[in-house]
Amino acid sequence: MKARVTVMLKSGVLDVQGEAVRHALGTLGFAGVTGVRQGKVIELDLAETDAAMAEAAARAMCDKLLANPVIESYRVEIV
């Protein structure tokens, strides 16, 4: 079973990389971009065959390693 985890900085946390991308887009002529948030996508191949158990395992991985719960939020999708 495959799980896709999307990790993003929480609202209110300064996204330095996102701001750098926004600035670079502006210099390339894309003046209409007023904000950019950058995150990461992690795809996990899991041996689990039950979707609920796979999601629980992926969430546990996020809580322990893949995301920093102080400044990041995450979303788990079973695909």
> 7: which strand partners?
40, 74
Domain range holding 74?
2-78
Q: How confident is the model at residue 5 (pLDDT cuts 50, 70, 90)?
A: very high
Q: What's the structural domain count of the chain?
A: 1
CATH number at residue 65: 3.30.1280.10
Q: How confident is the model at residue 22 (pLDDT cuts 50, 70, 90)?
A: very high
Q: How many beta carbons lie within 10 A of that of residue 24, not counting itself?
A: 12
Stretch 10-28: mean pLDDT: 96
Cβ(46)–Cβ(60) below 8 Å: no
Give the pLDDT of residue 57. 98
Give the pLDDT of residue 79. 95
Q: Provide the whole-model pTM.
A: 0.88
pLDDT digits (tens, 9 = 90+) for 24-78: 999 999 999 999 999 999 999 999 999 999 999 999 999 999 999 999 999 999 9
